[in-house]
């Protein structure tokens, strides 16, 4: 799913012209943490244990501004690597991303090869596992919604990744 600028997956490009409006609440959150980014597009990936994201580079934007990646739900293994110019060898870094983690890929890492080879089952925080049917944030009173009762337990084995980017300088 995409938010704001709609990426053309067939042609591997963003359309010319102004993108659709980016969701204001996500833009405010992103800009509050990373002041220099202008959120214009986001890719929302939903994973279940067993799903992967193949190794790739994000090179379609006409901007060198970094990428923001926010993780919710189950933990994931994230691998990123930069190619050394003198040897053409990619030096990988492996990270375990947990719910609430944010990764900012800027500078040379903006164009790093990266992938998600594994989503770890059973690692969703308990306060998030029944969302949107109920919430039980630490230190807050639990809320229950009959409206979303059918969704109870859905997040328990899900990972949502929100990858936010500026399309053009």
Q: How far apart are CA 74 and CA 142, in angstroms?
A: 21
Q: Does residue 152 have a pLDDT over 80? A: yes
pLDDT digits over 104-118, tens only? 999 888 889 999 999
Kindly state the percentage of the chain with pLDDT values over 90.
56
CA-only gyration radius of the chain, Å: 17
Q: Does residue 139 have a pLDDT over 70? A: no
Mean pLDDT, range 33-62, rounded to an integer: 92
For 34, which DSSP code?
Answer: S
Task: Decide: 39 and 26 in contact? Cβ < 8 Å.
Answer: yes
Q: How far apart are CA 59 and CA 168, in angstroms?
A: 12
For 16, which DSSP code?
Answer: S
């Amino acid at each position: 799913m995409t938010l704001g600028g709609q990426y053309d997956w067939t042609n591997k490009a963003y359309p010319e012209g102004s993108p659709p409006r980016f969701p204001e609440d996500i833009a405010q959150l992103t800009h509050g943490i990373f002041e220099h980014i202008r959120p214009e597009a986001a890719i929302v990936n939903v994973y279940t244990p067993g799903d992967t994201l193949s190794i790739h580079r994000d090179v379609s934007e006409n901007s060198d501004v970094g990428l923001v990646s926010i993780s919710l739900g189950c933990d994931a293994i994230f691998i990123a690597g930069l190619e050394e110019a003198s040897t053409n060898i990619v030096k990988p870094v492996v990270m375990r991303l947990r719910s609430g983690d944010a990764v900012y890929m800027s500078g040379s890492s903006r164009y790093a090869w990266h992938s998600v080879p594994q989503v770890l089952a059973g690692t969703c925080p308990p306060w998030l596992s029944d969302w949107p049917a109920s919430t039980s944030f630490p230190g807050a009173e639990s809320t229950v919604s009959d409206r979303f009762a059918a969704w109870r337990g859905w997040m328990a084995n899900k990972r949502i990744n929100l990858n936010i980017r500026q399309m053009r300088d």
